[in-house]
Every structure is written in C-alpha cells, then in structure tokens.
Amino acid sequence: MIKAVRGTRDLLPPETALWNHVESVVRDVFRAYNFQEIRTPIFEETQLFARGVGEETDIVAKEMYTWEDRGRAASDHGQSLTLRPENTAGVVRAYIEHKLGDRGLNKLYYIGPQFRRERPQKGRYRQFYQIGAEVIGPATSGSESPARDAELLEMLATLLDRLGIQNWNLQLNSVGSSSDRVRFNDALREALEPVKDKMCGDCQRRAVTNPLRVLDCKVPEDQPTIETLPRVYDYLDEASKKHFEEVTTILESVGVPFEINHRLVRGLDYYTRTAFEFTHGALGAQNAILGGGRYDGLAELLGSPQPAPGIGFAIGEDRLVMALQEAAGDLQLKPDVYIAPLGAGMNREAAKLARELRRANIVAELGDETFRLKKSFETADKIGARFILIVGENEVKADTFALKNLKSGEQVSVPRAELGQRIHL
C-alpha cells in the first residue's frame, strides 16, 4: 500500500472546513488593512533562498529540497532549483521583478505550502502551510516607519482575537541595524570565548560561525551561561533604539500587550530591527504560532536597484488550526437534503429537482433510482442530511413531494414550488 510520505499529511474533512474558516477570516482582516494577495511559484532558483534566507541558517544549510533541473539535451548543465522553504524571499523577488513599488503595491499577503526537511513531530511537518504578509516599498512609502511595525503587530493581535485564539503571547525584540548586528556578534563572540567549551556542540560551533544563534539554544544546561551574555539592546545605535521605542509606544497606546524578550533573534539572517514571535501555550513544544520581523536590506541583497525596506510575518497555519481545534465543536458539513429517486425513470425527475434546489442555495445530495427506499434512508442518515425527499411516480404526477425531517421524524407533502422554502426553514 502506498502511503503519504513521512512529514506530509492529508487534510481531510471535516478539518478542511476549519482551514477554510481560518483562511476566510484572515482574508477579511487583511482586506481591512488594505493588503492584497500574491501567489508566487512553489519552486524558485536555489540562489534566491541561499542569498535571501542566508547560507548560515538551518533552513539553507540542511533543510531544503533541492534538485538539478536538466533540460532534454545531454549537454544541458541544468539549474539548481528548490521547493520554497518560506515565502518572503519569493515575494521580495516578485516585488523587484515586477517593480511593484512603482505601482504602489506595498502590502502583499500569501497563503500556501512551504517545504523543509525537518524531523517530523507533532506540529512540525515537511510540507506545512504558512499565511504571511509583507509591507515593502521605497522608504518614501513609509515602509521603514515604526508605525508599520506597530500596525502589523496590531493586525496580528486583531486576527488572533477574531479567530478566537486566547492566551497568545507577543514576544518582541530589536536586533538592530546590520552594523549593530556586527558589533553585537563581535561582543558575543568575545563573551563566548572563555565559556563556550562547557556548552553544547551546536553552541561551540555557533560561537565561531554565527554567535547570534547561540541565543536560540534550547539545551537546559546552557541556559545559565546564555543568561550572562551581552544583550542586543545595549548595542543598538540611537536610530534603532528610537525606532524600537516608537514601536512599543504605539503598541501601548493601542492596547496590544507584549513582552520584551532579549534573546529573540529568530532563525533567518535577513532580519533587522524589530523581531517578534507569537506563542500559544496549548501547542506544547512547538509553541510558536507565528514569527516575523523587519528586513530592511533584503531587497538590495536580492538585486533591487533601490532600497526597499520592509517588514513581514509568517503564521504557521497548521499550528493555528491546531490551536483552534479544541475550541471548534462539530465541524462536519452536512447536506440539507437527500433526494431519493424511487423506481425506473425517476433519476431524470430527481435531477431536475436537484437542479432547482441547488440553484436556490440548498445543499443537496442525489441518490439513484435503483436504490430501495431502505437504502436511501440509510444513506441519508449516514451523511447527516436534515431531510429526505422522495421522488416517485405518484409524486411526480401530483407535482407534490414527500419531505421527511430526519431528526423529528415529521413527514409532510409539499408542492414543488414550496420545497425550497420548506427546506430553508
């Protein structure tokens, strides 16, 4: 038997109804903030992620699905392609390629699958879904302003509230400008030098290659050492400090609660200044529901002739749905009516009726004239139809049909013209 590949899964009804609900609420909220949808390809040139996400990151170093895409000729050297592990790089590429900034298209959102070769566990998949949004544009568009950071965070709080997610927690930090980061990395490297030998293997390596990542370490024995390391805030220049303070001031005035987490540096290399994460208690070990931050140098890194500062986030849709699952009750989508043709020649009559009712927005399931009445009743019951409608020769002649409410057991004879109204009740 062939099964779904490890780390991938089928999303089945009734759960898919919850996914659709989430996406429809999300689209409404994004619309209120004037975001528009973008859909980028599922695969891109490997280089885009190597440059955009960063060679040093776990994603690029070990988690990407990459292959050589050869043409038909034997001499074809092919091109290295990768299934997208995240969507920001693709959006920024599209922004540059289509000069979206010139058209004032500065606020974009996406919904779709991403791929990372991670160790699968609850809440962590190799194909997972992200819902994300990006504000990007020339500095003159205000994309650099702390007002955008605060607006995005306030939108996320609204979104989670609207979905009924309770007890979320917003963790906030500033990782400074790229030159702040260089100074901070140097300070970390120096502070790690005398202590790194007693830390875990990953930290020993990171202490040399990418000291910032040490702050991400989850190994319990390393935590006391990490607590003694310098804090990024002390290395921010005046402009970055002011930017961060303005973000927090706006959040306070609009009433969005947050916590400052000095160790929040996030997994991707391109972040500058504001970095954030929303966590949710009920999710266990994989408790990050979404993450994001500012990426002021990314567009230039990907070849934009002009600076295009930006900020964005990605929500883990799988985890968002998981957080909602307990609260959501019965999701099963059920038909209003099961139409049961009874006897030869009745399929065509039932088809006509079904067409009329469906045009009146009634959800109808259609049986088959070879079914006995008992089988029709059993089927209607199994799919949870509210009514069963019998279409037999006598009914057709009288143009009046037997309609039975399967919950109450009440059965009535209803003229054709009144069926819709009766079922809608």
Cα–Cα distance between 288 and 276 in angstroms, integer? 10
* Closest CB 132 distance from ligand AMP, rounded Å: 8
- Residue closer to ligand AMP, measured from CB, 141 or 173: 173
Dist CA 139 CA 81 (whole Å): 32
Longest alpha-carbon distance in the chain: 94
Q: Which two tokens stand for residue 331?
A: 């999701």
Q: Give 281-294 as a DSSP string.
A: GGGTTS-EEEEEEE
Min CB(173)–ligand AMP separation in Å: 14
Q: Shortest distance, CB of residue 144 to ligand AMP, whole angstroms?
A: 21
- Chain residues binding ligand AMP by CB under 6 A are 86, 116, 118, 124-125, 128, 130, 267, 288-291, 314, 316, 318-319
- How would you label 251-273 residue by residue, b for 16+ Cβ within 10 Å and e otherwise? beeeebebeebebbbbebbbbbb
- Judged by beta carbon, residue 35 or residue 338, the one nearer ligand AMP is 35
Backbone φ and ψ for 33, nearest 5 degrees, come out as -100, 10
Nearer to ligand AMP, 296 or 365 (CB): 296
For residue 348, the minimal CB distance to ligand AMP (Å) is 49
CB nearer ligand AMP, residue 118 or residue 246: 118
CA-CA distance, 376 to 338, in Å (whole number)?
8
**Helices 15-32 and 317-325: angle between axes, nearest 10 degrees:** 120
To ligand AMP, the closest distance from the beta carbon of 11 in angstroms equals 13
Characterize the bridge pairing of strands 259-260 and 127-136. unpaired
Tell whether the torsion through CA atoms of 253, 255, 261 and 264 is positive or negative: negative
Q: β-pairing, 259-260 with 272-280?
A: unpaired
Q: How far apart are CA 99 and CA 89, in angstroms?
A: 15
Cα separation of 234 and 176, whole Å?
Answer: 10
Using CB positions, name the residue nearest to ligand AMP. Answer: 316
Chain-centroid distance of CA 324 in Å reads 14
Q: Quick one: 310 or 316, whose CB is closer to ligand AMP?
A: 316
CB of 337 to ligand AMP, least distance (A): 39
CB nearer to ligand AMP: pick between 94 and 289: 289
Q: CB of 170: closest distance to ligand AMP in angstroms? A: 13
288 vs 337 by CB, closer to ligand AMP: 288
Half-sphere exposure of 247 (CA within 13 A, CB side): 29
Residue 414, CA distances (Å) to 263, 297, 421 in order: 68, 68, 10
Q: Are 273 and 293 in contact (CB under 8 A)?
A: yes
Closest approach of ligand AMP to the CB of residue 290, in Å: 5
- Cβ nearer to ligand AMP, comparing 134 with 365: 134
Nearer to ligand AMP, 313 or 387 (CB): 313
- Minimum CB separation of residue 128 from ligand AMP in Å reads 3
